[in-house]
Amino acid sequence: MRRRLAAVVATAVTGIVAFAGPATAAPADKPQVLSGWTQTSAASYNSWLAARGAQGTWSSYGFDWSTDYCSSSPDNPFGFPFQTSCARHDFGYRNYKAAGSFSANKPRLDDALYADLKRVCSAYSGVKKASCDSTAWTYYQAVKALGNSPAVDGSASV
């Protein structure tokens, strides 16, 4: 009986160890991919947007795709669709914080948000464009000044 129990335990332990396997690290190019998706250009924005739509493809990278969009500000102020731009900004903030290199990248992340918002505003003309541009500028100034605060960076407890 003891031998049978020992054999069962040994088989179970071997199966668990074989099944668990070693932990896998994120691909070595994760910093380059993250950087490529957080630049000020429209190409960077479009690459990030495509990846966001296919997050499963990037699962081995361990990116944090969570977002609270424009935090405590309206996501679509005055009808201007800022939500997706704010989501990319959150992506940059969350992932650079996780990488331990947020401070070095924050100015570029904020600049990328502003570039994204200005591209949203480029769809308008006249007074509506001026209003959108003004709102984009306000959002940009807010993240520059308050982007490290819990209310803006999404770390505030609800």
Which has the minimum average pLDDT: 3-7, 64-68, 85-89, 100-104? 3-7
pTM for the model stands at 0.81
Q: How confident is the model at residue 24 (pLDDT cuts 50, 70, 90)?
A: confident
Please say if 118 is a catalytic residue. no
Burial class (CB in 10 A: 0-12, 13-18, 19+), 128: middle
Region 37-46 average pLDDT: 98
The active-site residue out of 88, 89, 94, 106 is 89
